[in-house]
Structure 1
């Protein structure tokens, strides 16, 4: 449990919206804590890298962390839950996978994730936790990264992720 903006890992992951221009929840908190330079960098990425388009769901980009303790912020856009587990589950897994790939490409040693899409995007947290943890575990089986943290906002979130991890490690799933 904790505040993702206080993490000292090499990178933190922002559950961004496609505009990359800040918003509510984790996204707004990260933008406020990082300072105005983060917004400027996100605008530059929108213009120069994304050709004015929004970042697609499941994709990820990286910026400096500016005033955050973390050196980098990896921005990823989670899916809005509409009940299509196969499609939305794949997109959610891509958020974690693409963020981890960016961290590995940058040769980072540590990364902190929030629970992506489980706030205003309404992805059921029990399902999201299994997808997130399985994606992270599978990545770590194939890649040396170091420390991967899930930074969860509430005791309820912490308990859900803890139970999902126990179930995965013991071979039980939802």
Structure 2
């Protein structure tokens, strides 16, 4: 059996097997306001160095895919970098790409035999994905992969803002 939790808080403080970063295809640190920038800042230079090695080896990370690195100074063991899609109106495969972020992140966590994963709200910031639609896709993608996982037993959705928290609370039917 598995456990799904919801919190409103700071993803970078989570003590889990892996936190998921809403990354960009170049795996570069993001701006000061997004989750990507917060993870790189809190985790220190080891994360950027690990991302640089992946860029050299693979050329980055494609939209909908995920890669794993050290968590540097974070409390998590690893950071899974998932590249969410930029919202272009919904007719460019964005829904499937977003769902793949959750599926691929959980598959990677399971491959590394991690027991717990904490997710942000991928693509709902500067990438402009509609929050309610993204929340439904995230939950659907999570459940569709979680049943296939041998090791991952706990998923935590960590919402930075109250709007996303309330959307997830409603969709997860949490009191």
TM superposition score normalised by structure 2? 0.90
Q: TM-score, normalised by structure 1?
A: 0.90
Which of 81-90 and 98-107 deviates more?
A: 81-90
Runs of 4+ in 1 over 3 A off after TM superposition: none
Comparing both structures, which one devotes a greater share of its residues to strand?
2
Higher relative contact order (CA 8 A, sep 6+): 2
Q: Which residue of 1 aligns with 2:86?
A: 80
Q: Distance in 1 between matches of 2:20 and 2:91?
A: 23
- Separation (CA, whole Å) in 1 of partners of 2:148 and 2:18: 20
Q: Determine if contact 2:106/2:149 at 8 Å carries over to the other structure.
A: no
Deviations 1:106-164 (A, max 9, x none): 00000000000000000001000000001111222232411100000012111011112
RMSD: 1.4
CA deviation after TM superposition for structure 1 residue 87, in Å:
1.0
Q: Structure 1 regions of 5+ residues with no counterpart?
A: 168-174
Larger proportion of helix? 1
What is the total number of aligned residue pairs between the two structures?
A: 164
The secondary structure found in structure 2 opposite 1:108 is coil
Query: What is the 5 A alignment of 1:11-30?
Result: 11-24=18-31, 25-30=34-39
What are structure 2's unaligned runs of at least 5 residues? 1-7
